[in-house]
Amino acid sequence: MPWLPVVAFGQAAQSPKRPLIEVRTNFGTMVVALYNETPIHRDNFLELVESGAYDSLLFHRIVPGFAVEGGDPASKYAPPGVALGLDPDSVGLPEEVVPGRIHTYGTLAAAAAGDTPDLAGRTHRMRFFFVLGGTYSSKELELVTQRNSANGRQQTYSASEREEYAEVGGQPRLDGAYTVFGNVVSGLEVLEALAALPCNGWDRPLQDQRMFMRRSE
């Protein structure tokens, strides 16, 4: 299991208190703390969880070393084997890209609408992904930073953020492009179990993996 820095847990105790969500799976339960710095995505996610919108949906796309994605409303009754997560949502959310909220291993981010980011800068209303990925040396992180900058995403990293990518890993090439609005604070082994599942050519697990969520006080 990747090491999680103390700061990731300490942030959960800051005021105001970060909302906690239990994500229940066949492999156990993950606890996710949402960031108060991304209130639009925080409140949207809380509303969907509390309404039961995520219950019985699938983790429909798993790419080892990259991400575990879920939240496609079409997945609830989808026949086996079909591709999911490709259709844009009819309701988008504005991006909330916050400095310091980076795509380290175990973070929760909003999926883009459809296969490519929405031209209006909106993210998908329901779909989300948990970040996977390996570690990055300072030199490797600098190369990613240069590529991101060439794509119009200026990014600088503090010493602690560089340490996170070196120790925990993640996907720095996504920084500045997606909204990171939470992170796993308990049950990271569940995410690892999901990441190891065999999938078909559409990256959909061969056996359906459903989720159930509730708010944890």
Let me know: does 71 contact 127? Beta carbons within 8 Å.
yes
**pTM for the complete prediction?**
0.87
CATH number at residue 93: 2.40.100.10
Note whether residue 132 is domain-resident. Answer: yes
* SS3 of residue 135 by DSSP: coil
Per-residue pLDDT of the chain (217 residues; tens, 9 = 90+): 444 443 443 444 445 899 999 999 999 999 999 999 999 999 999 999 999 999 999 999 999 999 999 999 989 999 998 999 877 655 578 889 998 899 999 999 998 754 444 445 555 689 999 999 999 999 999 999 999 988 888 888 999 999 999 999 999 999 998 999 999 999 999 999 999 999 999 999 999 999 999 999 7
Which residues, 6 or more positions from 48, have their beta carbon under 8 angstroms from its beta carbon? 54, 126
For CA atoms 203, 34, 104, 185, give the dihedral sign: negative
Question: What domain range includes position 160?
Answer: 6-78+88-216
pLDDT at 121: 53
Which residues, 6 or more positions from 114, have their beta carbon under 8 angstroms from its beta carbon? 86, 87, 88
Domain count of the chain? 1
What are the strands, taking DSSP E only, across the chain?
20-25, 28-34, 61-63, 67-70, 92-94, 107-112, 122-131, 180-186, 212-216
Note whether residue 115 is domain-resident. Answer: yes
Note whether residue 1 is domain-resident. Answer: no
